[in-house]
Structure 1
């Protein structure tokens, strides 16, 4: 059992494939961590899994959290209903209210992608930069934008939802890709193509059978021509999408997250891929891996719980 602390705050990051809890002290030192698979298609089971995670942390630390920050996937409407393309069981549910009813400590809610960006802006890869964008490439694609360490969430709390910008028709035509529906209700969203699952989709569209992005990368490393072609297409689409971010927000640094952030060649190849979609004279900002790996979302949620950042996401 860890030494009890009077200032423990929990952060829970709920992703499309995994849910992770970290318990941190006031200095953001991790006291406890546990990760489980995100329950799919079972909303009551999802709620119980979160309750069980909190109970396990309480037992390990010998006390209850002072507050819990929860990074939810997707967005909430004005009535509190969740929209989550990557955890469909949450869509239409009053997730924040239902969790608050089961956990008798203060809860603070944020977007999972924005919490990743907030974490990297505070002691992470973007610490000290005037502005940063955290771009997650995992089951889906999205991110968050911070300026002077402050998370800018916007009127609807949607700032950083770059994964739901549209892929231009000419790029789909160039690569012979179909116009795909997205779980958000729109069509042709970037995340269907530039996420890890998007990379696997491209390989399968070319006639392959890779189950996920890791399989595509492994095949390409082994010399598979089709997998290599899929990576080329993916890099062009990702280069376009990050160039659009540069034009819209001009961040001083871009931090990648999610499973694809572990693919080291991206950091050598992406600057040129981004530059191809920018006009002459525009500099590509540094594109770097995350300091906190794929645990950044949970740490950002713990920042919400501990009230460390200057501001909180809109709607938290």
Structure 2
């Protein structure tokens, strides 16, 4: 059966001097709540002043849900066919620490990522039902080549029955361990089940060195708090514990960007939070929850960008 005419409609809009054709604005991408593609586009347009600085100079991997979150999704690294000529891109080797599968457009040994440095590029990607925007911990230099990592990330992933409450407790431990290394941690709810902790590096590090640093912190805390923390990737050993995923610092790995939507049952957002909120979440099992797009926009209006250095 063909989709309703309202879903199929197209509108032409001017975004930063670029003419874009937006389609299917009434299509429901989150059936549980009725959240539409038009609302997704509107969220990204409103959040773009704080989102774009965190995407700038970073290759963006997208997860797309063309038929909504109740249907299938797929990862997309390379720029797709039909990419506008004005979209900035970076050609990244797939060898060594950045080894990963490539598509026909990659030329076999390289990937061609989009660089999302303006609202037009962001809008174009979101119109392709790219709900999730994932980035590496390294940036692309002016010469178009990948640089060393400029930040460290540790993903706190709870194994049931552990949840965000336990993640908050562990986040405080990680914060202190990073502080001992003169690194200042910034907490971000993942928009899924856990928390991400970022720390800007005083000097750029090769990905293997930043990965080793994150693993060192994770293994120290696993040794000291074995009933609460695990640094082991085996899912069978995560039950009731918080897995400190240090591997997302590898050159080929990506993490959901702060302020990106997630392709969950309900629209949720990877949301920067304060350490006061994390402490409240550590004390009270209901003290902190994942945030939806409207709440995130309200938080930014009130507090600005909590993730800004």
TM-score after normalising by structure 2: 0.29
- More helix by percentage: 1
- More strand by percentage: 2
Which one has more relative contact order, counting CA pairs under 8 Å at least 6 apart?
1
TM-score after normalising by structure 1: 0.29
